[in-house]
Amino acid sequence: MNSTYLLNASYAERTRQVFDAATEQYPRLAVFRADLRFPVEGTGRRDERVISRFIDSLKTHMASLFSAKRQAGITCDHPTSLRYIWCREYGPQSGNRHYHVVLLLNKDAFHQLGSFDPPESGKLPSLANLIQKAWCSALSLPWPQYASRIRFPDGQPIWINQLKNREKPPEYFRALEWAWYLSKEASKRYGDGRSFGCSQDNPSLIGSRRKPR
């Protein structure tokens, strides 16, 4: 753990639980992180539901990508759940609100962010494009004009491949420490809406051929 930050113990423990559930579900896991910022003019900055709309929009865009791949004849037999952790923070100098989000996905479905640029005509969007589109959609702003409001930190994704003896590999602890950044006490304001959230214990599958019951 990075001793530079004082962590919120409850947030850190909930993050660990999300990681354990994800690695239990998928022996090959890909962990991504995105920083979600608001436009300079402040559109959506005081909207408490913007992060929920982002998650819902991302699920929709991911499902659409699976459908588009199948229509194009691309094999995609590996669905994924969308497990996530998010936090809301405020800039230490500007005081501007922003979000950090960690996404845990089946590596066999999404193994890299791909290009940050819009796809060429006839090409399918990358995971990075889906994340950009979801944030723009949550803010009711056009993509790709506002794609720069999403930043992808270096060093990702982190791949976690489960060991045969079921012990957690070094990448698990590296990714968990990376995600614990979202649990730090610094830059948060309590009593002004939610500062932290994560996925439920049994999220639905995205991209599955099975019809929901």
Percent of the chain with pLDDT over 90: 78
Structural domains of the chain, count: 1
**Position 22 pLDDT exceeds 80:** yes
Residue 104 lies in a domain: yes
Residue 213, in any domain of the structure: no
Question: Does 2 map to a domain?
Answer: no
Does residue 129 lie within any of the structural domains? yes
What does the pLDDT look like over 29-71, one tens digit per residue? 999 999 999 998 877 888 889 999 999 999 999 999 999 999 9
Q: Tell me, yes or no, whether 200 lies in a domain.
A: yes
The reply to whether 157 falls in a domain is yes
The whole-model pTM stands at 0.94
Give the pLDDT confidence of 79-95 residue by residue, as tens digits.
999 999 999 999 887 77
What range defines the domain where residue 144 resides?
A: 9-206
Residue 212 pLDDT greater than 70, yes or no = no
- Whether 211 maps to a domain, the answer reads no
3-class SS letters over the chain:
CCCCCCECHHHHHHHHHHHHHHHHHCCEEEEEEEEECCCCCCCCCCCCCHHHHHHHHHHHHHHHHHHHHHHCCCCCCCCEECEEEEEEEECCCCCCEEEEEEEEEECCCCCCCCCCCCCCCCCCCCHHHHHHHHHHHHCCCCCCCCHHHEECCCCCCEEEECCCCCCCCHHHHHHHHHHHHHHECCCCCCCCCCCEEECCCCCCEECCCCCCC
Is 199 within the bounds of a domain? yes
Q: Is residue 135 over pLDDT 50?
A: yes
